Structure 1
Amino acid sequence: MGKKNGAVAFFDVDGTLVWHDYEKMRAMSAEERRELPPIKPSPAVYEAFSRMRAAGNLTFICTGRHLPFIPQTIRDLNPDGFVAGAGAFVCVGDRVVRAEFIERDLLLETARRFAAAGVDITLEGDVDNVELNPSGRPAHLPGSRLARTAEDAAELTVAHRYSKFCSNGVEERDLAPLRDFIDEHYTICDLQGGVLEFSMRGVDKGTGIEATLACLGRGREGTFAFGDSENDLSMRAAVETFVAMGNALPNVREVADYVTLTAAEDGVPAALERFGLI
């Protein structure tokens, strides 16, 4: 798998390998968002991944999306593995080296508290997503199952496991009654576009990368990570070189070793060339 001393690079998807116009998306209805075509990297990104392989370097997708929700357009990049679910799931080739899930009792208590507070969330798992929308809003993600109450969520989640959850369009004040519970069990990250991600404490992209490198028998030397949002910040300490996209949040750009062009401007291929990886 790659050259012994080749580089190992980890790539976020949304806002990094793929550009999103968040302002335009916020103005869309749930039905319009469900009808959007699958995300797809630019031809330059596909070419860059091919050149990475040819040079003997390893590539890993490092995303908040769970494995079943990584579209074929991203899999067609032919990475050497995945860090999915914001670090909860890791595979190197066909080998699963990490799989973390929210304990059932905590999942049910989370659903109960958020439903009581009237805050919509999407529970994201290894098989499906369950949108718990006490507000009455329709489901906004393709393939999601819809729950209105905590009891609905308990019934819909009984057969599968879930690693994280997200909220869409929720204001900080909406979380005030839940803050102590959240801080005890979860870490919150701003994913841009009005989306907040809630991950289990100690489970993030950084620890997912560490599990990947341990499986490869590699240290931090010759490792790179590319990202744009707060859930990418944990990658900074896990790799030698952290690259922020030009469209990254200010606090992500501030800690980066290098800031490349935006995703819309093919910032990933530009940075790979800058560091001599392609």
Structure 2
Amino acid sequence: MGERVTAFFDIDGTLGWTDPAARERMSDEERKLSPVPSLAVSDAVRRFVAAGNRAFICTGRSPLDIHPKMAALPFSGMACLAGAYVKVGKAVLRDVALPPEVLACVDEVLAETGAGALLESAHGSVDVRGGTTGARQPSPASVAGALERIPGGRAHKVVLPTPAARLVVERASGAVGLSIMELELGNSEVGLLENCKGGAARTILGYLGDAGATYGFGDSENDLSLFEQVDMPVAMGNAAPAVKAAAALVTDTVGDDGVATALARLGLV
């Protein structure tokens, strides 16, 4: 198969998928976990690594919210929280949380609008004011209360209803660069502009030094910065149009095991 190569894999919509409406009906513990990869995708990742290659998770999720069956695959490391937290083996290469002034702005907007939010950190996720649906009770009534439940009291990004997220960005972006990314069910995530998947991939590749040819697999617009850092960007069949347009290869959908299909087509398994 030639020299060792390195691949970065998004989770939701790429390695696995859970219907958003079905997820909202799950228990709080289940709801926060990532989807589980299919047997075909799991086998393909294992064979990819067994051939001497490196595989990395590249996700917006907290590392503690990755399903144990996903985390058990032989990944060399992970870029989580949309690039805010990066780890290779036991080495933490990046850990950049939201500054206090942004979190204070989030608290202010939640109080004004009556909305709830989800704080995400390297140590897990905590709902505020019932979460984005307002129904996740009991939960802290303030961001400060939620931070008390997170070891270290830090949050790396926040998910809010989109109108509230836009207010936060409008008010706080003068002091710090913020990004906003629309998600499902009328929600958006807000994080630091400097935290992105592309920056995380660049950090990992710099640390490795001998990464070989590089591949990136994704489906959402937050994967576009990752695509800019790899030799072969691969879009899922279910990817957003802009993601497909930026890809060198469009594979099958996540429901049809597109990651496994692409790895085989590229001669990597």
1:213 aligned onto 2:209 = no
1:190 to 182, 192, 207: 182
Q: How does 1:80-229 map to 2 (within 5 A)?
A: 80-133=76-129, 137-139=134-136, 146-150=139-143, 152-153=145-146, 155-156=148-149, 159-167=152-160, 170-172=161-163, 174-175=164-165, 177-181=167-171, 183-184=173-174, 185-218=177-210, 222-229=213-220
CA distance in 2, matches of 1:222, 1:63: 21
- Cα 1:19–1:106, aligned 2, differ >3 Å: closer, same or farther? closer
Helix, strand or coil at the partner of 2:48: helix
Counterpart residue identity of residue 236, structure 2: M
SS of 1:146's partner is coil
Amino acid at match of 1:217: G
Letter in 2 for 1:161: R
TM-score normalised over the length of structure 2: 0.86
CA distance in 2, matches of 1:139, 1:75: 26
- Partners of 1:164 and 1:101 lie apart in 2 by 7
Among 227, 230, 244, the alignment partner of 2:235 is 244
Q: Following the alignment from structure 2 to structure 1, what is the Cα–Cα distance between the partners of residues 222 and 11?
A: 12
What percentage of aligned pairs have identical amino acids?
A: 34
**1:41–1:74 contact (8 Å) kept in structure 2:** yes
Measure, in 1, the Cα distance between the counterparts of 2:154 and 2:147.
12
Counterpart of 2:158, as a letter, is F
Q: Which residue of 1 is the match for residue 255 of structure 2?
A: 264
1:233 to 224, 246, 254: 224
Shift, 1:120, TM fit: 2.0
CA offset digits 1:36-63 (Å, max 9, x no partner): 6873111111111121112211100111
* 2:4 corresponds to which of 3, 6, 27: 6
Q: Secondary structure at the match of 2:78?
A: strand
Runs of 4+ in 1 over 6 A off after TM superposition: none
- Aligned letter for 1:60? F
Q: Which residue of 2 aligns with 1:21?
A: 19
The DSSP-based 3-state class of the residue aligned with 1:162 is coil
TM-score (norm 1): 0.84
SS state of the match for residue 147, structure 1?
coil
Runs of 5+ consecutive residues of structure 2 not aligned to the other structure? none
Q: Work out the CA distance in 2 between the residues paired with 1:270 and 1:158.
A: 40
Contact 2:165 2:180 in 1 (8 A): no
Q: Could you say what the CA RMSD is over the residues aligned between the two structures, in angstroms?
A: 2.8
Moved more, 148-157 or 111-120: 148-157
Structure 2 CA distance for partners of 1:176 and 1:207, relative to 1, 3 Å? closer
